[in-house]
Amino acid sequence: MSTTPIYDISVIIPLYNEDESLPELSEWLTRVMQDNNFTYEVLMIDDGSTDRSWLVVNEINQKNQCFKGIRFRRNYGKSAALSVGFHEAKGRVIITMDADMQDSPDEIPGLYKMIVEDGYDLVSGWKKKRYDPITKTIPTKLFNWATQKMSGLKLHDFNCGLKSYHYEVVKNIEVYNEMHRYIPVIAKWAGFRKIGEKVVQHRARKYGTTKFGLERFVNGFLDLLTIFFVSKFGKKPMHFFGVLGTISFTSGFLVTCLLVIEKIYNVANHVEHRGITEQPLFYIALTVAIIGVQLFLAGFIGEMISRNASERNVYGIKQKIGLGE
């Protein structure tokens, strides 16, 4: 743990081309924080925007020093923005929310209470009533169903941007690639067991256009398989590849031995027979044995990489506002 929390709340807002919504969102956040007497900071992570978003972040900071900014050199994605925000956050409770005004800041006091008073490690928002098109709601339901089945977590909305975390959680999990969809799953497998959800308001989009596409659903499923594998075998890849490789090689070896024994028997008893290399089963067995060796080597290489892996979450930060350089 690098530092002790110095604020009640850190709000992390990843943003990409959201210059229209930021002024209204910042005013709303300020009002909620002041009405509840929270000490707070708001970290606005500009993920390589090409519009006026960074200029707007500067203007907001000049009006209220509690709003701070980090600007990436290019677009790295939401997971990168959250990872940097988690690293910089100094609040006892960390709130994440989207910048498009579809998440309501009025939900923050309730999310804060569930962490501080009810003892939750992580609380995920559940947008029970949504204002999204059917092309987004149906893939989202399929995604949530698949994630529930694979993770064992009974949450209705894993990918809701509005979440609250205890400080300890964000400092002990790693979010990279597109794994932000599975933060509750990552937290569970990191040992944080008290994970709940809260029904939150989903507001109709007021600014901009949705950045959701069908490819995000497909990629999300592949990421789920990745995180499942990494959580189970990331530290010991040999336990996965080694077992499969051993089974595959042994199967091929035993079939080859049976073919040899059969040939010896046929020769000894003067039974008409085909040569071993004339039988398709021999080549199948040989292929299976070779695959087994390759799987075993993959496990060995994976073990070497896992023991010498360097830091993955390194991003090109161009500028900061209100934070140490």
**What per-residue confidence (pLDDT) applies to 67?**
97
Rounded to two decimals, the pTM is 0.73
User: What tens digit of pLDDT does each residue of 25-67 get?
Assistant: 999 999 999 999 999 999 999 999 999 999 999 999 999 999 9
State the number of CA atoms in the 13 A half-sphere of 132 facing the CB: 21
Domain map (residue ranges) of the chain: 7-233, 238-307
Of the two residues 113 and 139, the one the predictor is more confident about is 113
What average pLDDT does range 72-91 have in this prediction? 93
User: What tens digit of pLDDT does each residue of 222-242 get?
Assistant: 666 666 676 666 667 777 888
Percent of the chain with pLDDT over 90: 49
Of the two residues 211 and 283, the one the predictor is more confident about is 283
Q: What mean pLDDT, rounded, does the chain reach?
A: 85
**What per-residue confidence (pLDDT) applies to 1?**
45
SS (H, E, C) the chain: CCCCCCEEEEEEEEECCCCCCHHHHHHHHHHHHHHCCCCEEEEEEECCCCCCHHHHHHHHHHHCCCEEEEEECCCCCHHHHHHHHHHHCCEEEEEECCCCCCECHHHHHHHHHHHHCCCCCEEEEECCCCCCCHHHHHHHHHHHHHHHHHHCCCCCCCCCCCEEEEHHHHCCCCCCCCHHHHHHHHHHHCCCCCEEEEECCECCCCCCCCCCCHHHHHHHHHHHHHHHHHHHHCCCCHHHHHHHHHHHHHHHHHHHHHHHHHHHHHHHCCCCCCCHHHCHHHHHHHHHHHHHHHHHHHHHHHHHHHHCCCCCCCCCEEEEECCCC
Q: Which of 59-68, 99-108, 123-132 has the lowest mean pLDDT?
A: 123-132
Tell me if the domain spanning 7-233 has CATH number 3.30.450.40. Answer: no
User: What tens digit of pLDDT does each residue of 292-308 get?
Assistant: 999 888 888 876 776 56
- Examine the pLDDT at 10 and tell me if it is beyond 60: yes
**What per-residue confidence (pLDDT) applies to 210?**
59
What average pLDDT does range 107-124 have in this prediction? 96
**What per-residue confidence (pLDDT) applies to 269?**
84
CB 20 within 8 A of CB 53: no
**CB count in 10 Å sphere of residue 260:** 12
- Examine the pLDDT at 309 and tell me if it is beyond 60: no
Looking only at the bridges linking them, the beta strands covering 122-126 and 67-72 are: unpaired
**What per-residue confidence (pLDDT) applies to 180?**
86
CB 91 within 8 A of CB 5: yes
C-alpha distances (whole Å) from 26 to each of 23, 271, 280, 299 are: 5, 88, 70, 49
User: What tens digit of pLDDT does each residue of 247-267 get?
Assistant: 999 999 999 999 999 888 888
**What per-residue confidence (pLDDT) applies to 38?**
96
Burial 190-202 (b: 16+ CB within 10 A, else e): eebeebbbbebeb
State how far the Cα of 151 lies from the Cα of 227, in Å rounded to an integer. Answer: 10
**What per-residue confidence (pLDDT) applies to 285?**
92
User: What tens digit of pLDDT does each residue of 154-209 get?
Assistant: 888 888 889 999 999 999 998 877 778 889 988 998 889 899 999 998 777 666 66
Q: In the numeric block, which tokens belong to residue 192?
A: 């944080």
